[in-house]
Amino acid sequence: MSDSLELEGCDLPACVRLRSSIGSITLTVSLAVFTDIFLYGVIIPVIPFALTSRVGLETTEVQTWLSVLLAVYGAAMFCASPVCGWATDRIRSRRTFLLIGLVALSAATALLLAAKSLVLIIVARTLQGVSAAVVWVAGPALLADSVDPDQIGRFMGFMGDATGLAILAAPAVGGVVFERVGYNAVFFICFGLLGLDMLLRLLVIEKERAENAVVEHNDRKSVSAHEINTTTTKQGESSSLPAQKSVLDDCASLRSATSGTDDRGTVTNVKSWRDHLWPLRTLLLSPRLATDLFGCLVQATLFTSIESILPLQVRQSFHWGSLGAGLVFLPLTLPALTSPLIGWVADRYQARLPCIAGSSLAALAFVLLRLVTDGTAKDKIILCCLVAIIGLALTLVLIPLMADIVHAVNSMDAKGQIGPRTGGSYGQAYALFNMAYAAGSAIGPLLAGLLRVRMGWGATTLVLGCLSGASIVPIAVWAGNHKPAKEEDDEITA
């Protein structure tokens, strides 16, 4: 949206300009991401209690059903993502889908509060997965619609900040509130956050709608001036009726543009009916986008791998309890707060360089983790430092790849590889991202757990390091090679 109209100079109400500003859109998307991750994590400490005390499961069955519920969430997210991507691009109202996702998340929270049967908890986790799919498809797509492509990395970084804060805060808040106040109080906090999130999602106006409102508003003023000039003659009087009708139509269009409705038709001039109905295949055939998705899958695999094996390792090597096992995740998640800075670096120097640097750092840190086997103070310090490097390295790769998805879609669109459609293809591109990340999140714990049981800690970290190193090759060849939007516009004009 580099050529977007300036809303500040128009006569629209200040509240409309504020609600459609990039800051408001970024805040709304970031809070949506925070709410999604927070409500996922805050119930982790209370789900075992719900399964035993409320559902009536035996203690020996809890671990099995915890794994099942995690799988249900991931499967729902994976299956709902392509449908959400296609629908949000087809209809184009990202705000509408964010509201639908919040309704699903609210229903899931209510079910978890009231559930006293395993079926209701499974349904609630399914709705949470669907809501996550909506947020992680419509949210980035809304940012891509609103932000200049040359700044998309920095704004994607704010989503990374929200994710990191939610990961850090949710389990702690859930555990403390559950222990001190009780089961229901945890969900009262959730409903308060849902109310705040609902308010922002209702208030936000998509930037394109506000820009359309500026155009419609200016046209209405021009028609009104013409009407005044022509009323001095009889012919002008006779022609005032269609002019008045035009003014009324323009006013209706202005109200529609600043409200949540979307009456625009779809563009039907499409080269292929397959591209029009389901262009995921076209997107996957792009080597650059496929590389971005592969990189996201690898990052999810690495993150969930270390997340699944680290607590058991520190318990066996350092004899740490649950508190220590929880605190060791701080150096893994805190680097996510640097996401806006990393996004700015990706905007300035393209995604390829930070991705290569991050993958190299992660590979080195994973390989060195195999040396941490004793319980000495030195080993504990080294472990925490290496885990922090891994957290920074994964962020250094994931945020630029998320931003590069926008550039990959824009490049395909400029070359005519994507047929014209109502809402572009950002939604479906991020649906593929969602599916890749969900697949990696499923692969990671299975891969790391199997390797650790069969081959041990050292061999597991070595394999993970090799996986990170191997991802450098496709990234170096295909990912992140884009020109600034202004340069591309100049070349097209020339």
Tell me, what CATH number does 39's domain have? 1.20.1250.20
Are 253 and 111 part of one and the same domain? no
Q: What value does the mean pLDDT take over residues 338-365?
A: 94
Residues 61 and 154 in one domain: yes
* Last residue of one domain, picked from the residues 205, 225, 240: 205
Q: How confident is the model at residue 425 (pLDDT cuts 50, 70, 90)?
A: confident
Judgement on whether residues 295 and 158 belong to the same structural domain of the protein: no
Stretch 446-458: mean pLDDT: 89
3-state secondary structure of 424: coil
Q: What is the mean pLDDT of residues 222-227?
A: 58
Q: Residue 389 corresponds to which tokens in the numbers above?
A: 């490097």
Rounded mean pLDDT, 73-84: 91
Residues 309 and 422 in one domain: yes
Q: Which of 187, 205, 223 is the last residue of a domain?
A: 205
Q: What integer is the mean pLDDT of 83-111? A: 90
Query: Which of 144, 115, 142, 141 shows the shortest CA–CA distance to 128?
Result: 115
Residues 464, 356 within the same domain: yes
Residue 388, pLDDT above cutoff 80: yes
Is-contact 285 421, C-beta < 8 A?
no
pLDDT of 97 > 80? The answer is yes
Structural domain total, the chain:
3
In angstroms, the CA 193 to CA 201 distance is 12
> What average pLDDT does range 14-33 have in this prediction?
89
Backbone angles phi, psi at 374, to 5 degrees: -95, 170
> Based on the domain organization, do 157 and 22 belong to the same domain?
yes
d(CA 37, CA 75): 16
CA distance 464 to 302: 7
Number of C-beta neighbours around residue 232 at 10 A: 9
pLDDT, mean of residues 425-441: 92
Question: Rg of the chain's alpha carbons, rounded to an integer?
Answer: 25
Q: How far is CA 82 from the centre of its chain?
A: 14
b/e string for 115-124 if b means 16 or more Cβ within 10 A?
beebeebbbb
Whether 401 shows a pLDDT value over 90: the answer reads yes
Nearest CA among 289, 261, 303 for reference residue 392? 303
244 and 227 in contact (C-beta within 8 Å)?
A: yes
How much is the average pLDDT of 74-97?
88
Axis-axis angle for helices 287-318, 426-455 (nearest 10): 40
pLDDT at 88: 86
Q: Are 112 and 142 in contact (CB under 8 A)?
A: no
Q: State pTM to two decimals.
A: 0.81
Calculate mean pLDDT across residues 81-102.
Answer: 88
- Nearest CA-CA partner of 370 in 306, 438, 422: 306
The closest alpha carbon to 432, from 292, 300, 298, belongs to: 292
In residues, how long is the chain?
A: 494
Q: How far apart (Å, rounded) are the C-alpha atoms in residues 253 and 69?
A: 46
- Which one of 230, 259, 288 terminates a domain? 259
Q: Which domain holds residue 472?
A: 271-494
Q: What is the chain's mean pLDDT, rounded?
A: 82
The mean pLDDT value for 471-476 works out to 94
The predicted pLDDT at position 225 comes to: 55
From first CA to last CA, the distance across the chain in angstroms is 20
Mean pLDDT computed over 469-493? 69
Give residue 251's pLDDT.
46
Question: Rounded distance, CA 202 to CA 151, Å?
Answer: 25
Residue 317 lies in a domain: yes
Instruction: Please check whether residue 4 lies inside any domain of the structure.
Output: no
Cβ pair 436, 294 in contact under 8 A? yes
In this predicted structure, the answer to whether residue 249 has a pLDDT above a threshold of 60 is: no
Query: Residues 431-440: what's their mean pLDDT?
Result: 93
The answer to the question of residue 3 being in a domain is no
Q: Are residues 466 and 319 in the same domain?
A: yes
For position 346, what pLDDT does the model report?
93
pLDDT band, very low/low/confident/very high, at 424 (cuts 50, 70, 90): low
CA angle 416, 438, 473 (to 5 degrees): 60
Query: How large is the average pLDDT for residues 284-300?
Result: 93
pLDDT at 9: 46
What pLDDT, on the 0 to 100 scale, is given for residue 61? 84
| Residue 401 domain-assigned (yes or no) | yes
pLDDT value of residue 224: 58
Same domain, 68 and 117: yes
CA distance 476 to 181: 52
The more confidently predicted of residues 3 and 140 is 140
Measuring CA to CA, which residue among 107, 173, 153 is closest to residue 134? 107
Report pLDDT for 5: 41
- Do the domain assignments include residue 264? no
Q: Please indicate, yes or no, whether residues 217 and 201 belong to a single structural domain of this protein.
A: no
Is the distance from CB of 98 to CB of 30 less than 8 angstroms? no
Task: Indicate if 165 and 217 belong to the same structural domain.
Answer: no
Q: What is the mean pLDDT of residues 353-368?
A: 96
Dump pLDDT digits (tens) for 183-214: 899 999 999 999 999 999 999 988 776 666 65
Note the pLDDT tens digit of each residue in 131-175. Answer: 999 999 999 999 998 899 899 999 999 999 999 999 988 888 888
Res. 227 pLDDT band, cuts 50 70 90: low
Q: Can you read off the two tokens belonging to residue 385?
A: 């430092």
Structure tokens at 92: 């184009």
Give the phi and the psi of residue 125 in degrees, each rounded to 5. Answer: -65, -35
Contact 359, 471 (CB under 8 A): yes
Judged against a pLDDT cut of 90, whether residue 369 lies above it is answered with: yes
Instruction: Give yes or no: residues 304 and 239 share one domain.
Output: no
Shared domain check, 213 and 189: no
Give the C-alpha distances (Å, rounded to integers) separating 110 from 37, 55, 186, 211: 17, 16, 12, 38
Residue 434 confidence (pLDDT): 93
pLDDT above 90 as % of the chain: 45
SS3 399: helix
Residue 253 clears pLDDT 60, i.e. is over it: no
In one-letter notation, the amino acid at residue 313 is: Q
